[in-house]
Structure 1
Amino acid sequence: MKQGYFITGTDTSVGKTWATIALMRYFKRLGKSVVGMKPVASGCLMQNGVLRNEDALLIQENASLSVEYELINPYAYEAPVSPHIAGADNPVRLHKIVADFDTLKKKADILLVEGAGGWMSPINATEDIADLAKALALPVIIVVAIRLGCINHARLTYQSIRSSGVPCAGWIAMCTEPGLLSLDENIQTIATSLDSPLLGVLPYSAQADFDAFSLNLSVDLSKN
């Protein structure tokens, strides 16, 4: 692995997976080999007797090489609730995720790890997404859903990341609402509020067009 990033969001359902896949496509266009990981996922569905997560499957599908599902998503929970609740009988163990991460990072130039929920979302009884990111020692990319309240959510998330001692590589504006009032002004306000670069604006789309999304991204690998 030459570089890796941890993808977090200002909340759940903000477009982290769409942004992750767009980043995978972006790095592929740069000629890099890419793999992804979604270590913890709730709301998984049973497929052929085993639990699988739709987002993790999409990450698996977009990897540059074939990777076994269990490395991509070691903790798959059926209940669509917070992992610390869904996984009460099989709690997340950070050492297990780190071991799988260490295996994956040997396989490609770029490794992207998508979190679950927001930065402070709990993953077990005592640890949260921030602890996971720290354990993996990756710079963080924030996905900000551009909607009412996004300025506050973006600033709070960024401040929490900085206080955790984890570097923030930048943020992505995910336009989640068609016809949002003052869209550009909201993005500009966040851009001037965060001491971290805007890596791209992904326009609203009812259906994901990852190649088109990737054309709106720009990540300077030399700075991380």
Structure 2
Amino acid sequence: MNRVFITATNTDVGKTYASEQILKYYANKGLKVGYFKPCETGVIKEPLDGSKMLNLVKKLNPKFKATIEDVVPYQFKLPAAPYVAKEDQNIDLEFLKDKINYLETMCDFLVIEGAGGLKVPIKKDLFMVDLINIFEAKAILIAPSKLGCINDILLSIECLKGKNIDFDWYINLFQDKDSYKEVSKPFLEDYFGKLNYLHELD
């Protein structure tokens, strides 16, 4: 089973957009895709990100019969880190792994979307980055193109390497697009060589 965990350098970087692009990419390769978001915060009536992705997956893979409760099992009202948003509720890791196993009966490539950045706390001693190894997934790190992205990219990559996590990373070119080529791209190209952009994934 192939699993990828979509994470980012911070919040509002484009994880859901990246999930959409990657789901379409692998569906076009003939794979039956699936989607899972362990927890979503800021939920009022329904999880907006999870619902959008579930609708997409059902179009790409009609055999994916999961409900929104299967796809986003933990839904919290407060738009904050899960550690805070969950209040007194326990986030059960075994329950989440069981959900993954269930969803994998309906697909052969599963996209798991995290919340916020790598060091967003879930429990006092458990962070978003830890779920990647717990779920035995490959990470896909999404980075913005805005001023400050160099620092965020380097710190996030250092964090992933420190946890011995296999990963790819992409720049989501949507913030500070006009200044990115002058302000951030020169160093990133010198440091990394070829850069991968999310919008070029096809």
* Aligned twin of 1:61: 55
Q: Does 1:200 align with 2:177?
A: no
Contact 1:84 1:91 in 2 (8 A): no
Please report how far the alpha carbon of residue 179 of structure 1 lies from its aligned counterpart in structure 2 after TM superposition.
4.1
Structure 1 residue corresponding to 2:171, chosen from 150, 169, 173: 173
| 1:140 partner SS | strand
| 2:87 partner SS | coil
The amino acid that maps onto 2:73 is P
* Aligned twin of 2:201: 217
Contact 2:147 2:180 in 1 (8 A): no
- Give the whole-Å Cα distance in 2 for the aligned partners of 1:155 and 1:10: 9
Q: What TM-score, normalized to structure 1?
A: 0.81
Counterparts of residues 158-169 of structure 1 (less than 5 Å): 158-168=157-167
Please report how far the alpha carbon of residue 93 of structure 1 lies from its aligned counterpart in structure 2 after TM superposition.
1.8
Please report how far the alpha carbon of residue 187 of structure 1 lies from its aligned counterpart in structure 2 after TM superposition.
4.1
| Greater share of residues in helix | 2
Aligned length: 197
| 1:55 partner SS | helix
* Aligned twin of 1:99: 98
| 1:123 partner SS | strand
- Give the whole-Å Cα distance in 2 for the aligned partners of 1:30 and 1:189: 34
* Aligned twin of 1:183: 181
The amino acid that maps onto 2:179 is L
Give the superposed CA RMSD: 2.0
Please report how far the alpha carbon of residue 118 of structure 1 lies from its aligned counterpart in structure 2 after TM superposition.
0.3
Please report how far the alpha carbon of residue 155 of structure 1 lies from its aligned counterpart in structure 2 after TM superposition.
0.8
Counterparts of residues 20-99 of structure 1 (less than 5 Å): 20-46=19-45, 52-63=46-57, 64=61, 65-99=64-98
Counterparts of residues 106-121 of structure 1 (less than 5 Å): 106-121=105-120
- Give the whole-Å Cα distance in 2 for the aligned partners of 1:59 and 1:102: 19
Q: Kindly, what percent of the aligned residue pairs are identical?
A: 24
Q: What TM-score, normalized to structure 2?
A: 0.89
Contact 2:7 2:114 in 1 (8 A): yes
- Give the whole-Å Cα distance in 1 for the aligned partners of 2:69 and 2:192: 36
Structure 2 unmatched ranges of 5 or more: none
Say if 1:190 and 1:101 are closer, same or farther in 2 by CA, change over 3 A. Answer: farther
Please report how far the alpha carbon of residue 30 of structure 1 lies from its aligned counterpart in structure 2 after TM superposition.
1.1
Q: Does 1:16 align with 2:15?
A: yes
* Aligned twin of 2:139: 140
| 1:96 partner SS | helix
| 1:4 partner SS | strand
Structure 1 unmatched ranges of 5 or more: 47-51, 203-215, 219-224
Please report how far the alpha carbon of residue 192 of structure 1 lies from its aligned counterpart in structure 2 after TM superposition.
5.1
